[in-house]
């Protein structure tokens, strides 16, 4: 067996076996070591350019820094070794950049502090990560809209507390899923103005090392990177990153809800939906008949993991004085993993829902399993105009008891009661007890959800 396939990995996020189940190559690339160091260099180069623009450093020095600072010239082994000693990668990287840039190297990292560079690089990663998430959400919303439209009028049992309650349509259920992701897309757009801001403030956040040019450099750096300027330093004000990860927790939480619905509906006793068929997917090593809902299981697992990271990010907001002693480091764990897990969950959702197999006949069979009792409320309200609400309640109550104790259907039990037949013939009774005739405004809610979703993109 070739060992070249395997690289050292100890988590599902970088495991050769599991990484594509829990993440995507695209999002892993956004948060890879190479991309992160490239972002550090990008920020340092942009800082030099910004400082040259406002006259803090010579223009030719900024140009030399831009030319000389290249990722392919970084000695990663030496960077790793020095980072392990220093505790942060920026000083070791600056050492290498200084050497890369010759005489201009003296101006690298001018007036900055380690956290300025790391935070701003993380903002650039978050920006790229959010773009991937938004693209996936838009695709998923399109899938859900098509599914809701197709099954607008497909009747099925609505369930509360895992018991059949009233008839709904499958399109109505999907429309609820769609509306969640419409809101997530709105949330994503709203948080960008709060999260995508530059971090540049110097050692204690006061820009003291740049004298009266501090704000000008900060604004120029933000402009170079396409970021906004914050009102104050946010070295220890971590609500932005916490908000981003908590949005990911909301997104994966919604995916977890969808996954749970699919898993239960795919169980043998329900048999109403199935994930797309791919030969061998979801197979059991000992039970050939099994068809496990693998994508839904992965979505649910991701939702639990990102929820934990969301809590960690909120906890990391509690930081001491002007620079934290440890909570900042917790973000290094939570931020990349949350984005990768979210991308993986969205990927699984697009697969599962994009090819979802819906068994309308089985939905109808399950809807009929109560022998009409699921529409007892509808029958009561249908009888009430003819005999009064209380008598209608008592008549239907007695008919339900007959069905439960003696078998048969609610229609048959009602047809045996003179109090009913004096007002309704058998065809009218059948219409009253047909679940498809008691869907409320479920189809119209699908229409409203689809219209609202379409408006989100205008």
Q: Which residues are catalytic?
A: 161, 284
How many angstroms separate the CA atoms of 377 and 398, rounded?
Answer: 13
Are 303 and 345 within 8 A, CB to CB? yes
How many angstroms separate the CA atoms of 340 and 20, rounded?
Answer: 10
- End-to-end Cα, the chain, rounded Å: 54
3-state per-residue secondary structure call for the chain: CCCCCCCCCCCCCCCCCCHHHHCCHHHHHHCCHHHHHHHHHHHHHHHHHHHHHCCCCCHHHHHHHHHHCCHHHCCHHHHHHHHHHHCCCHHHHHHHHHHHCHHHHHHCCCCCCHHHHHHHHHHHHHHHHHHHHHHHHHHHHHHHHHHHHHCCCCEEEEEECCEEEEEEEHHHHHHHHHHHHHHHHHHHHHHHHHHCECCCCCCCCCCHHHHHHHHHHHHHHHHHHCCECCCCCCCCCCHHHHHHHHHHHHHHHHHHHHHHHHHHHCCCCCCCEECCCCCCCCCCCCCCCCCCCHHHHHHHHHHHHHHHHHHHHHHCCCCCCCCCCCHHHHHHHHHHHHHHHHHHHHHHHHHHHHCCEECHHHHHHHHCCCCCHHHHHHHHHHHHHHHCHHHHHHHHHHHHHHHHHHCCCHHHHHHCCHHHHCCCCHHHHHHHCCHHHCCCCHHHHHHHHHHHHHHHCC
Are 108 and 101 within 8 A, CB to CB? yes
Residue 247 burial (10 A CB sphere; 0-12, 13-18, 19+): buried
Would you tell me how many other CB atoms lie within 10 Å of the CB of residue 269?
7
Would you tell me how many other CB atoms lie within 10 Å of the CB of residue 376?
20
Are 7 and 33 within 8 A, CB to CB? no
């Amino acid at each position: 067996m070739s060992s070249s396939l395997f690289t050292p990995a100890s988590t599902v996020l970088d495991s050769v076996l599991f990484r594509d189940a829990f993440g995507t190559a695209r999002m892993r690339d956004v948060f890879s070591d190479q991309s992160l160091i490239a972002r550090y260099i990008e920020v340092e180069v942009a800082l030099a350019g910004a400082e040259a623009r406002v006259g803090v450093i010579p223009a030719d020095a900024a140009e030399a820094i831009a030319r000389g600072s290249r990722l392919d010239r970084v000695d990663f082994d030496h960077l790793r070794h020095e980072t392990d000693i220093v505790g942060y990668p920026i000083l070791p990287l600056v050492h290498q950049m200084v050497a890369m840039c010759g005489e201009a190297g003296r101006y690298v990292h001018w007036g900055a502090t380690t956290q300025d560079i790391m935070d701003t690089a993380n903002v650039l990663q978050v920006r790229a990560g959010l773009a991937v998430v938004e693209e996936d959400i838009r695709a998923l919303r399109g899938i859900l809209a098509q599914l809701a439209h197709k099954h607008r009028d497909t009747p099925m049992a609505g369930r509360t507390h895992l018991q059949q309650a009233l008839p709904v349509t499958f399109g109505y259920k999907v429309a609820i899923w769609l509306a969640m992701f419409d809101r997530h897309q709105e949330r994503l757009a709203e948080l960008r103005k709060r999260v995508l801001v530059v971090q540049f403030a110097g050692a204690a956040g006061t820009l003291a090392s740049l004298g009266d040019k501090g704000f000008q450099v900060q604004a120029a750096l933000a402009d170079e990177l396409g970021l906004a300027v914050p009102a104050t330093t946010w070295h220890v004000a971590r609500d932005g990153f916490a908000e981003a990860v908590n949005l990911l927790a909301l997104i994966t939480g919604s995916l977890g809800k969808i996954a749970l619905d699919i898993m239960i509906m795919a169980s043998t006793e329900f048999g109403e939906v199935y994930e797309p068929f791919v030969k061998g997917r979801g197979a059991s090593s000992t039970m050939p008949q099994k068809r496990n809902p693998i994508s839904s299981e992965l979505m649910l697992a991701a939702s639990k993991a990102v929820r934990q990271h969301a809590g960690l990010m909120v906890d990391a907001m509690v930081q001491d004085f002007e620079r934290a002693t440890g909570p900042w480091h917790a973000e290094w764990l939570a931020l990349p993993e949350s984005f990768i897990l979210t991308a993986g969950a969205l990927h699984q959702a697009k697969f599962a829902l994009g090819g979802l197999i819906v068994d309308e006949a089985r939905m109808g069979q399950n809807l009929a399993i109560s022998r009409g009792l699921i529409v007892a409320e509808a029958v009561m309200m249908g009888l009430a105009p003819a005999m009064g609400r209380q008598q209608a309640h008592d008549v239907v109550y007695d008919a339900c008891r007959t069905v439960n104790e003696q078998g048969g259907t609610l229609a048959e039990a009602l047809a045996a009661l003179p109090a009913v037949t004096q007002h309704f013939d058998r065809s009218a009774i059948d219409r009253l007890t047909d679940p498809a005739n008691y869907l409320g405004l479920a189809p119209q809610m699908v229409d409203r959800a689809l219209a609202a979703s379409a408006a989100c993109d205008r």
